[in-house]
Amino acid sequence: MRCLFAIFILQAACGLVAVFAADGAKKNDTVFVPTKEWQTVKKGSPIPAGLHIRHNLQTGVTEAKLMDEDESDEKSEESIDTLQQNSLTLHPEKSLTDEESNLEKKDEPIEQAKIPFEELKAMLKKIKSDESDALLQTKNVDEAQSERKKKYRSYSELKKELEALNMNISTDSEVLTSLFSQFESYKESLTGDSMDANKVEDILEILNNLEYLIHQIDNAQLFTDMGGMAKIISPSLNSTNWEVKAEALKLLGAAVQSNPKVQLKALESDFVQKLLHMLTVHNKVEVKSRCLFALGALVRHFPAAQKALVNNGGLEVFGKILIDGQSQVQTRVLNLINDLTIERQNLKEIQDEQQRLRRTREYDLTNFEPKLLMHSYCQNLVDLMIRSLRIDSDIDDFHEVIYESMITLSFICKDDFASKKRVLLPEIQKMLIRYRDSPKINEDGENLNLHHQELLEKLRSIISEQQHDEL
């Protein structure tokens, strides 16, 4: 049967090894003299450090020899007392099975690692410091939370305070419902010959609150779904008080602005026709201006509404305003026609071909450009330009709007420009000289008329090129 050996390589750092009997036999004083050959070690004999030791687990015999040269390590400088304290006991009586060995190991006390006193002291000090820092941090967090609790109140506390003040937090839907209910009580007095001043003030406040809410797209759609066009705006537009009309027009413009769903509802409610009618019958500048604001918000980027505008004589009405309208109203007309023209010019920039063709067909159905020429809008625009150039007054933004409109419509109105070029070009030259000789300089040293001058020079260049093309 093959012998089983337990082989131990003990370095100098491990100290001496003694072989003891398992029954507690006394230590043998005989010193083992190692050689390069394996020798049997007597029971209880101490073994020098640095030997190659093997133990037969079946017979219990222990053997030792010197280490080979390539396995040798530096000898330890520790004392014999220290080596004896770190000795290993081998049991020669009989080999221990794994189970017995494990049981005895459990009974033996585990030798604790020795740590220098100063190092242990430093470790304990660090632990104490860490615990103090943790306690301080926890204290700071608790204090911060306590301060936040003092600064901010909980929802339940706020609710109790609001209840004490008889206040309720309402949603936008609830506020709209409340405003609808308030307006209903004033509806009969809207068409009276003379409205009480207090009632007018109350109605204006209701309309103003509604206008504030419906600047949000969702609220504007909710306002429409609740019947706001028929219940609020239409009765207000029929009011005998011009202030109520103007505020209702402002409300309508805010509702339809950049809101396709509400634009469609307003178109279906015939507001294009109603607004054009108000432009022709009312003389109040505020009402006309608000009317054009609402109309512009309704038809911009909405070809179907633009078609209704053209078919109901809107361009003809606009042309007449350029002849004898107030400058504030004329400015709104010029800006609206400019925007509608630019919309058509921007169609060519749509990258998707199918979308571009579809949008082009929608705008072509409006007959916008042919109707501009038919209703003499271009001719009236040139006449307005000439009149503004001849007015001996301070240069203002009204001139800038006219210049921009002339440039934008130059490809549509080129024939009308050509027919008036002999009058138009000299007047432009006079205005340019005026810009040059009488600049308006602000506190920063900037010429406020420089932009106007650049626009006018561009317009002169356009008209001159059209003249050369004709030649």
pLDDT in tens, 408-439: 999 999 999 999 999 999 999 999 998 888 88
Kindly state the percentage of the chain with pLDDT values over 90.
50
Which of 239, 150, 149 is closest to 191 using CA atoms? 239
Tell how strand 89-90 and strand 17-19 pair up.
parallel
Distance CA 13, CA 18 (A): 15
Angle of helix 285-299 relative to helix 303-311, nearest 10 degrees, comes to 130
Look-up of token digits 């109520």: 244
Give, rounded to a whole angstrom, the gap between the first and last alpha carbons of the chain: 127
Distance CA 127, CA 135 (A): 12
Distance CA 372, CA 268 (A): 25
Distance of CA 115 to the CA centre of its chain: 59
Pick from 166-170, 327-331, 390-394: least confident: 166-170
Pick from 20-34, 187-201, 392-406, 457-471: least confident: 20-34
What is the pLDDT at residue 273?
96
What is the pLDDT at residue 95?
43
158: region left, alpha or beta (phi > 0 left; psi from -120 to 50 alpha):
alpha
Predicted confidence band of residue 309 (pLDDT cuts 50, 70, 90): very high
What is the pLDDT at residue 84?
45
Distance CA 229, CA 266 (A): 7
Distance CA 375, CA 320 (A): 9
The DSSP code for 287 is: H
3-state SS track over 175-226 = HHHHHHHHHHCCHHHHHCCCCCHHHHHHHHHHHHHHHHHCCCHHHHHHHHHC
Predicted confidence band of residue 178 (pLDDT cuts 50, 70, 90): very high
3-state secondary structure of 98: helix
Answering whether pTM is above 0.75, one says no
What is the pLDDT at residue 285?
94
Q: Are 229 and 269 in contact (CB under 8 A)?
A: yes
What is the pLDDT at residue 2?
46
Distance CA 244, CA 202 (A): 10
Residues 237-245 have a mean pLDDT of: 93
Given a cut of 60, whether residue 446 has pLDDT beyond it is: yes
Residues 355-383 have a mean pLDDT of: 95
